[in-house]
Amino acid sequence: MSTFVQQEINNRNKWVYFTKYRWVAHAVYWTWVLVAGTLLQIKGPITVGVILNNFFLSNLNIAVFYYVYCLVLIPYFFKRDKVFLFWGLLAISFFALTGFDLYFHKRFVHVVETEGYDYTTSFWNNYLQVVTVYVINFLIFSMMLFFMEKNEENNLQIEVANEKREIELVKLDLLKTNISPDFIMRSLDQLKRSALHLEPYTPTSIITFSEVLRYRLYRGKQASTPLTEELAALRAFIDFIRFDYRNNNLLVSLDCTGDPTGKSIAALSLINIMEPFCKVIPEYPAVLAIQIHITEDLLQMQMDYDKKAAGSLLDDLNAYGHDYRALYGESIHFNFENCEEIRCKIELVLPIS
């Protein structure tokens, strides 16, 4: 996996100056060289041979130098912190190609008369002219690459931010829709026990449990859900617990005031806060009294548990408050405390839209 990732990074670094329409900048640069450095400098008629010699062949070595620089030296040496090797190879390639450029022009290039430099003077005069042209154009080319790097850096920051946001959304979706294995095993054990004992509520219990799971499946990926559906799912959840409350050692009561019609709430927010109380069977019978009051823009929920929150219940309640603040921001108010070591009181305030 690490080899694949490194290969992807290398490919991205190598072609960073050509992707996302940056090749247009190269086309503009060489068009400028063609027009300003060739066509406007030629004194005679412009023919195919003139373009071939005065533009393509004349700029062949300097183009090789530029693209060795941006396709090899930068991605494979500079960006891998091989700084001394980078500058050494850059100097070698610069002086080697400028020297070879003199030989190449005298041997292969047949330029027409221009207003630029010529190759009829002494070697050192010619060489200094070539070096000057290389340096000036190299600075222009390097400035172009610099702005491409800044653009890529900005794009990369945006991509990283978007990927982090997507990862957080996936993590939060998992937190929201995750069902505790302990709760599932307890629920299945309850269904199995009621079926073996031929309890009269067994068919209703199976249907009720399936409704709770179906609701979690279809509403879990949504940011909000109709309040009437959330309350119906909560009542079904409580009914499922009540069917076998003697074995569950948990008796849950629900008192709801206010009109939920036409209102929406954070999906699964009421279902998920119930689940921690159903993961582990209390040692002694416990009572959980739930009171819900619905206003125009808020749902106020109070839960009174006649036992101290400890162990997994304490961890789950802490996790619930953290996760739902991460999901929906500070608009969610959640607080719980152990009162006098014998009770647990939970207060939850959720915005309603």
Tens-place pLDDT, residues 49-89: 778 877 788 888 888 888 888 888 888 888 888 889 989 98
Return the closest-CA partner of residue 53 out of 104, 93, 124.
104
pLDDT for the residue 352: 87
Compare 348 and 166 and report the one with higher pLDDT: 348
pLDDT for the residue 293: 92
CA-to-CA dists, residue 143 to 30, 61, 64, 134, 197, angstroms: 15, 20, 18, 14, 82
Q: Where are the alpha helices (DSSP H) in 77-201?
A: 83-108, 123-177, 181-196
CB atoms closer than 10 angstroms to residue 111: 18
pLDDT for the residue 175: 54
Report how far residue 224's alpha carbon sits from residue 221's, in angstroms, rounded to the nearest whole number.
Answer: 9
pLDDT for the residue 97: 85
Give yes or no for residue 1 having a pLDDT over 50: no
Tell me what the mean pLDDT of segment 158-177 comes to: 66
Q: Which helix (H) or strand (E) holds 232?
A: helix 227-243
Instruction: Give me the percent of the chain exceeding a pLDDT of 90.
Output: 1
Report how far residue 334's alpha carbon sits from residue 245's, in angstroms, rounded to the nearest whole number.
Answer: 27
Tell me what the mean pLDDT of segment 166-195 comes to: 69
pTM for the full predicted model: 0.52
Give yes or no for residue 260 having a pLDDT over 80: yes
Domains and CATH numbers, the chain: 2-175 (no CATH), 179-351 (3.30.565.10)
Average model confidence (pLDDT) across the chain: 79
Report how far residue 215's alpha carbon sits from residue 229's, in angstroms, rounded to the nearest whole number.
Answer: 9
Give yes or no for residue 188 having a pLDDT over 70: yes
Give yes or no for residue 186 having a pLDDT over 60: yes
Report how far residue 285's alpha carbon sits from residue 305's, in angstroms, rounded to the nearest whole number.
Answer: 11
pLDDT for the residue 9: 62
Report how far residue 130's alpha carbon sits from residue 187's, in angstroms, rounded to the nearest whole number.
Answer: 83
Give yes or no for residue 227 having a pLDDT over 50: yes
Give yes or no for residue 261 having a pLDDT over 80: yes
Give yes or no for residue 169 having a pLDDT over 80: no
Give yes or no for residue 115 having a pLDDT over 50: no
Residue 15, classified by CB atoms within 10 Å of its CB into exposed (0-12), middle (13-18) or buried (19+), is middle
- Evaluate whether 237 touches 212 at the Cβ level (below 8 Å): yes
